[in-house]
Amino acid sequence: MSNDQLRNSQADRSEIVRSARHLLNLLTSTSTTVRPSVQTHQEPPRQETSQERGRDGRPSIHTEMTRSFPALYGNKAKRRCFRGPANQFTPVKEIQLNFYLLPKLVQSTPKGSEEFVHLQAGLGRRSTLIPDSYSHDEVCSRLKDLYPKLESVSGGWLIYKGAGGWGSRKLNMVPPEDSGYTGSLLKNASAGGKTVLYIAPIQEELDTQPLPPDSSSFSNMPKAMFHSCQTSYPLQLLALHIETCQPSDTNAQEVCTVPLHG
């Protein structure tokens, strides 16, 4: 290669180097002018507050958990509502029903004088709470607790309600459902507890003789001590006992066992 060719080759290389440096300068200057506009959209570095660091200067547990699990502990996670399973608990609705246990199947509601006889025999009118959800067996169990004499009824019983009006009224049967007498049926039949429901044995007759004051039929009734004979009587029978009790100094208890008839 001649000297002229060598000089021309070096000149070409120098020109290529100058062109490359010029292009690099152009790219560098363009990047410098664009970068400030890009940095304007970046948020400044976040400074940790004193609450995010412990007493020893180390990041708190919440800060570490936020860094490790931002989806659960980040700011967006607070907007999420993690709901557990729906509450399946349904409050029990109870209604106070009024019952009247009859000694036998009759055609009309009892008169006032008969009500006193029934009351002394552990029959008559009483009230209790019956939930809407009660089945026939649960209703029977509750009524037997209310009237212990129902335990001895083996021939079955039915429920009746009185016709409209005053005084002695005709009794109409409340027909049981296929599943028997349920809590919801008794609620509807009694008009929400406003009507008395009469229970009548259909094949037998219950005893109407007065029971002693300590009988299990009166166990759920409020009682009061009668001063003359020192005997505890149900409040419903206390007024009747006043008329028949004639205490003596020698044997007051025997005098007070006179049957209570209205």
Q: Report whether pLDDT(260) > 70.
A: no
Three-class HEC string of 113-170: HHHHHHHHCCCEEEEEEEECCCCHHHHHHHHHHHCHHHHHCCCCEEEEEECCCCCCCE
Residue 144 binned pLDDT confidence (cut-offs 50, 70, 90): very high
* For the chain, percent of residues with pLDDT exceeding 90: 34
pLDDT value for 256 = 46
Mean pLDDT of 237-249: 64
Residue with more model confidence, 214 or 93:
93
User: Is residue 100 assigned to a domain?
Assistant: yes
Give 97's strand partners.
128
Domains contained in the chain, number? 2
pLDDT value for 251 = 46
CA 216 centroid distance within chain: 32
Q: Report whether pLDDT(94) > 50.
A: yes
Mean pLDDT of 237-261: 55
Write out pLDDT tens, residues 168-193.
889 999 999 999 999 999 999 999 99
Q: What is the CATH number of the domain that holds 153?
A: 3.10.20
Backbone φ and ψ of 231, nearest 5°: -125, 135
User: Is residue 48 assigned to a domain?
Assistant: no
State pTM to two decimals.
0.57
User: Is residue 59 assigned to a domain?
Assistant: no
pLDDT value for 197 = 96
Residues 235 and 144 in one domain: no
Residue with more model confidence, 73 or 216:
216
Write out pLDDT tens, residues 105-135.
999 999 888 988 898 888 999 999 999 999 9
CA nearest 77: which of 86, 65, 85, 60? Answer: 65
Round the average pLDDT of the chain to a whole number and report it: 76
User: Is residue 70 assigned to a domain?
Assistant: no
pLDDT value for 15 = 75
Residues 223 and 170 in one domain: no
Residues 112 and 170 in one domain: yes
User: Is residue 7 assigned to a domain?
Assistant: no
CB 182 within 8 A of CB 135: yes
Mean pLDDT of 14-25: 73
Q: Domain residues for 169?
A: 94-201
Residues 148 and 229 in one domain: no
User: Is residue 226 assigned to a domain?
Assistant: yes
User: Is residue 160 assigned to a domain?
Assistant: yes
